[in-house]
């Protein structure tokens, strides 16, 4: 369907074209090259982490990170059901078991009280998600992880640039992942990264993403022999993709500012529609609005009305535990907040270049629907 107003538009400029063009015209190092390392350095700097390692998707980054932390058969990882399915699937990738905890409805992140109820002798890690660009209650989850000697891995796929006070999302836990899929804060089309302060995890990730190969130089331009010291995958991000990432990340602050300004405008316009509840972050939270979501009465009918006006809306996260796949695995969970929120939440268009006239159109159509 061709939308008058799509859910997102990618923010790009001539710098993106120039960087990719120069990388292609080099005629060399399309797979592995200097731009990969440069992009990784910029990622780490952007959230004040020591290390960053790029991957060809956020999912491969998360898969690799669980491997690097030694999570495997017999281990349990506490995850939300209100998430993209790769968060829950990643423990399965490494032979572990995802255990679903409920969310709280302030940030739509894991509820610390529910997490506490799920901890047992097999629990190895907590894997919270920062939904839509809003930090979850990560400080409370960090305290739980420390008290129970658990690994804390942040799924910050949607929250690059978000922070609590002056501390960036992605630096509260032992490690974190970012995503650069096309609708994220910055994008390389597809892509992801791990950020961590651990040199051990950093070195393990380099092996995992490139066939377990011990590399001291560029594999494609060196005649030196290379040894393979572990099992690994082909999860690398290409040099061309990294060249695009370099141009994108240099616009990160600008993109976030534009998103926040648009979200502030929409919040003001929607706040006096009683059937709509805007989602306001706690006072010391810095929300980057990768998604702009609201709680809406008669949600499904509202979405149909907006579609009729050419305005796209979407429910991104249906509960993972209710999918056919997880039901087939025997999951029967009691997650009342997750199930209630998933029936009420809707994501509206949000992107940096969204115009006031377009936001006014969204609000006008919502008003029409509710009469």
Q: Report pLDDT digits (tens) over 180-211.
A: 999 999 999 999 999 999 999 999 999 999 99
The answer, as to whether pTM is greater than 0.75, is yes
**pLDDT beyond 80 at 217:** no
Cα(241)–Cα(295) distance, integer angstroms: 36
Domain ranges for the chain, please list them.
Answer: 14-249, 252-370
Q: What is the CA radius of gyration of the chain?
A: 21
Count of other CB atoms within 10 angstroms of residue 223: 4
Model confidence band, residue 28 (pLDDT cutoffs 50, 70, 90): confident
**pLDDT beyond 80 at 1:** no
Q: For residue 81, what are the contacts with CB-CB under 8 A and spacing of at least 6? A: 88, 100, 102, 103, 319, 320, 321, 322, 333, 335, 338
Which of 308-347 are b and which e, b meaning 16 or more Cβ less than 10 Å from the residue's Cβ?
ebebbbeebbebbbbeeebeeeebebebeebbebbeebbb
CATH 3.40.640.10 at 14-249, yes or no: yes
Which of 237-265 are b and which e, b meaning 16 or more Cβ less than 10 Å from the residue's Cβ?
bbbbbbbbbbbbbebbeebbebbbebbee
Q: For residue 20, what are the contacts with CB-CB under 8 A and spacing of at least 6? A: 240, 243, 244, 247
**What CATH architecture applies to the domain 252-370?**
Alpha-Beta Complex (3.90)
Mean pLDDT of 49-64: 98
Nearest alpha-carbon partner for 159 in 139, 177, 133: 133
Tokens of 60: 């491969």
Model confidence band, residue 357 (pLDDT cutoffs 50, 70, 90): very high
Q: Report pLDDT digits (tens) over 103-112.
A: 999 999 999 9
Tokens of 350: 């949000």
Q: Report pLDDT digits (tens) over 244-261.
A: 999 999 999 999 999 999
Q: What is the pLDDT of residue 103?
A: 98
Per DSSP, helices labelled H in 250-344 are 252-270, 299-308, 324-328, 336-344
**pLDDT beyond 90 at 55:** yes
């Amino acid at each position: 369907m061709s939308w008058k107003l799509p859910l997102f538009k990618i923010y790009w400029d001539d710098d993106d074209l120039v960087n990719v063009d120069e990388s292609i015209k080099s005629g060399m190092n399309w797979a592995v090259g200097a731009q990969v390392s440069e992009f990784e350095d910029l990622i780490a700097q952007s959230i004040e982490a020591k290390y960053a390692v790029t991957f060809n998707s956020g999912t491969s980054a998360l898969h690799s990170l669980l491997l690097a932390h030694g999570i495997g058969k017999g281990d349990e990882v506490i995850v939300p059901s209100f998430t993209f399915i790769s968060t829950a699937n990643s423990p399965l990738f490494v032979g572990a078991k995802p255990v679903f905890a409920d969310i709280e409805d302030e940030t739509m992140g894991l509820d610390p009280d529910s997490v506490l109820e799920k901890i047992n002798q097999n629990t190895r890690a907590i894997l919270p998600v920062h939904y839509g660009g809003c930090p979850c209650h990560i400080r409370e989850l960090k305290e739980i992880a420390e008290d129970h000697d658990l690994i804390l891995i942040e799924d910050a796929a949607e929250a690059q640039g978000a922070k609590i006070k002056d501390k960036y999302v992605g630096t509260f836990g032992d490690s974190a992942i970012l995503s650069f899929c096309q609708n994220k804060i910055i994008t390389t089309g597809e892509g992801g990264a791990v950020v961590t302060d651990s040199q051990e995890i950093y070195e393990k990730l380099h092996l995992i993403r490139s066939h377990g190969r011990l590399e001291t130089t560029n594999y494609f331009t060196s005649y030196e022999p290379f040894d393979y010291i572990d099992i690994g995958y082909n999860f690398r991000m290409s040099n061309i993709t990294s060249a695009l990432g370099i141009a994108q990340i240099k616009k990160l602050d600008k993109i976030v500012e534009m998103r926040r300004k648009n979200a502030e405008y929409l919040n003001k316009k929607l706040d006096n529609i009683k059937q709509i509840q805007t989602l306001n972050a706690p006072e010391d939270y810095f929300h980057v609005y990768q998604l702009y979501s609201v709680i809406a009465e008669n949600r499904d009918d509202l979405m149909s009305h907006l579609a009729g006006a050419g305005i796209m809306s979407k429910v991104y996260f249906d509960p993972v535990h209710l999918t056919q796949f997880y039901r087939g695995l025997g999951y029967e969970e009691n997650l009342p907040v997750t199930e209630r929120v998933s029936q009420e939440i809707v994501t509206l268009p949000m992107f940096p270049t969204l115009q006031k006239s377009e936001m006014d159109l969204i609000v006008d159509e919502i008003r029409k629907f509710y009469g």
